[in-house]
Amino acid sequence: MRKLKNEELGRISVEEFKEAKKSNVCIILDDVRSLNNVGSVFRTSDAFMIEKVWLCGITGKPPHRDIQKTALGATESVEWEHRREILPLIDELRSNGYVIISVEQADKSVSLKDFEPLEKSKYALVFGNEVFGVKDEVVKKSDVVLEIPQQGTKHSLNISVSVGVVIWDFVSKLGT
């Protein structure tokens, strides 16, 4: 066994990525403070053909060297847009047929392991601030609140890890 070289991986170009069919999933980052987390989300979004990344509130926007450090160029391939306010975006996406899913710990949350995404549905996954999580008013407007099962002493995962776990789960369940 040997490690593959980059040129053996068969990756598509940025231009091919932009033209390729994407997943039926977009990501919303709301008030994410860490630019490294934002960059990591772009990189994960590229890896799993995410339709779009929405950056809301104080979430940092490309171009920024701290985003680029972890995104490794994914800000050039993944479509993104910034909105000052998340609630109008939630309403807009819902009116366009998206199921709004907040990733948060809530009284009526659904365990990620029990959630089955539907192949024909479109999903907007909301991830909130590193300290305060998804805003209460966004949780209340969500169609579903997903919770990542955890068993240790900490109350949460890093947002970039949470995005990776949830996206991997969606992609695996949808078979894309």
Q: 3-class DSSP state for residue 76?
A: helix
Span 108-126, mean pLDDT?
A: 97
Closest of 75, 10, 3, 83 to residue 43, by C-alpha:
75
Q: What digits encode the pLDDT tens for the residues 57-93?
A: 999 999 999 999 999 999 999 999 999 999 999 999 9
pLDDT in tens, 2-50: 999 988 999 999 999 999 999 999 999 999 999 999 999 999 999 999 9
**Residue 155 pLDDT > 90:** no
High-pLDDT (> 70) share of the chain, %: 99
Domain ranges of the chain: 21-174
- Tokens standing for 154? 């900490």
CA distances from 82 to 4, 41, 55, 112, 121 (A): 37, 14, 5, 27, 24
Q: Computed from CA positions of residues 66, 70, 73, 78, in that sequence, does the dihedral angle turn out positive or negative?
A: negative
Phi, psi of 42 (to 5 degrees): -60, -45
Average pLDDT, the chain: 96
pLDDT score at 139? 98
At residue 122, the pLDDT reads: 97
Higher pLDDT, 175 or 156: 156
Enter the pTM of the model: 0.96
The reported pLDDT for the residue numbered 111 is: 98
**Reported confidence tier of residue 115, pLDDT bands at 50, 70, 90:** very high
Mean pLDDT of 115-136: 97
Taking the alpha carbons at both ends of the chain, their separation in whole angstroms is 27
For the domain covering 21-174, report its CATH number: 3.40.1280.10
Residue 92: closest CA among 151, 33, 26? 26
Quote the pLDDT of residue 6: 87
pLDDT tens digits, one per residue of 9-19: 999 999 999 99
What is residue 176's predicted lDDT score, i.e. its pLDDT?
67
